[in-house]
Amino acid sequence: MIPSDQDDELLAYRLLEEELKEFEDQQRGKYGHESTTDLEALLAFHRHELVQARTCRRDQILATNTNVAITIHHKLLIQIANEETLAERDHLLAIALNAEQAAEVNNQESDGDDTVSNSSGEPMEGIIRTHKPNNKPLVRKIACVSCSEHHDPESSFHLSCGHHFCRECTRQMFLTATKDEELYPPRCCGQTIAPDVPAMILDDAELQNFAEKAIEYETADRLYCAEPACSKFIPPSALASDVGTCSACGRQTHLPCRSLAHPGIDCPLDVGLQEALATAAAQNWKRCSQCRTMVELELGCNHITCRCGHDFCYVCGANWKTCTCPIWQEDRILEVANQQVNEEVAPNADPVVRERAVAQAVQVLRQHEDVACEHHRARQWAWKDRGSLRCELCLWYMPYYIFMCRLCRMRACWACRRHRLR
């Protein structure tokens, strides 16, 4: 079928020919029949040129449309062949399942005569191929929830939460856990990955480093080498009579005072530590009673979860929910509520609507510790593309969207939501 614009073009040629013929008829006989006048010769020449132009254009349009049709049919044949290949694979899979055989689906592209040519040659070249049945065992590939790539089942890990991770993404979870304590133990959706997995994916050096970090992270009262140029962790197995020997530099550290060993001498006053403690007191920083790390509360309630996993009260330092301290400071809860309202209510909203939204946010925040968030559940989170796109855990800014807890309004990126929250 010729497109309408090409039809109009050919029609214009025909109209010109008809007008020229009508003009010739009007002029015929005016000058007798003895000889052909110059005007008649000119009209005949124009008529010949018009016929040639119309014929040439018609042939050009026909050739173009034929090539387009061939190209369309070429793509259609490729699609049909691919659909037939998929249908054959599904049929073989059904046979394997009915026979209670191991289900394997081969998603690799077929070789040789089993594929349709996608070369850039002539449109009809290589479309039809002799089709041979593929008797190879079929393997259904699995998508990694982290990188979204498809992998063979034997190179993927099915975690207890139901998610699948490829070998490399699982390996990266263990490697990053050796650099960030909040990511230890490696987990997804709040469920720890099986302890036998590291031996399957880490080399000897990586496995040794992970094992050493695991001992460090799981030690409550940690001791680090007092040599400033070293500062390596000293495991409990290297302690003897309150003195720890560093395996890296060989120096000894006195456990009670955390300074270099000083046999027969009273413990010196650690000036640097005292200055740090004075600064912490002035800034209202607190110290975790389990790992001795300094913690600062910028925003939120008095419930602190240290990077080591210890939960304690920011006011008195006691284990969480073992004291009578208030859960919230009034100025902090109002600050958090206003921040939430600013992100979700239009700036020019009615003041009554805004006050009602702030009051509702305060009420939800007060009930938060009693209800408790289930951050490992997908339904706990909402997808947001406006307001703050900064992850409150890793502090990275997301380019397009972020997840927000429906209850506590925490904003977290995909990775922190799955692997950092406990």
Position 30 scores a pLDDT of 58
State the pairing for strand pair 252-254/243-245: antiparallel
Reference 188, options 377, 371, 407, 372; nearest CA is 377
Find out whether 256 and 242 touch, Cβ atoms under 8 Å. Answer: yes
The 8-class DSSP code of residue 381 comes to E
pLDDT value at residue 110: 37
pLDDT at 346: 77
pLDDT tens-digit map of 10-53: 667 677 767 767 766 666 655 555 445 666 666 676 667 767 77
DSSP assignment of 225-241: -S-TTT--EE-GGGEET
Q: How far is CA 64 from the centre of its chain?
A: 45
Supply the pTM of this predicted model: 0.56
- Residue 165's pLDDT is what? 94
142-217: what CATH class? alpha beta
Q: Are 83 and 118 in contact (CB under 8 A)?
A: no
Tens-binned pLDDT, residue by residue, of the chain (422 aa): 445 565 666 667 677 767 767 766 666 655 555 445 666 666 676 667 767 777 776 666 666 665 555 555 556 556 666 666 666 666 666 655 554 443 343 433 333 333 333 434 444 444 444 445 556 666 688 899 999 899 988 889 999 888 999 999 999 999 999 999 999 999 998 889 998 999 999 999 999 999 999 999 999 889 999 999 999 999 999 999 889 999 999 999 998 888 899 888 878 777 777 888 888 888 888 988 888 888 888 777 888 888 888 889 998 889 988 898 888 888 888 888 888 788 777 778 888 888 888 888 888 877 766 666 777 777 788 888 877 888 988 888 998 889 988 877 788 998 898 888 87
- Beta strand ranges found along 220-349 (DSSP E): 223-224, 233-234, 239-240, 243-245, 252-254, 259-260, 286-287, 294-295, 303-305, 311-313
In the numeric block, which tokens belong to residue 324? 């009578």
pLDDT per position as a tens digit, 405-414: 887 778 899 8
* Tokens representing residue 354 in the block: 């805004």
The pLDDT of residue 97: 57
Question: What pLDDT score does 217 carry?
Answer: 92
Angle between helices 4-27 and 38-98 (to 10 degrees): 160
**Which one-letter amino acid corresponds to residue 404?**
M
Domain boundaries, the chain: 4-28+40-114, 142-217, 330-419
**Residue given tokens 């406990």 in the structure block:** 422
**DSSP secondary structure code for residue 400 in this structure:** S
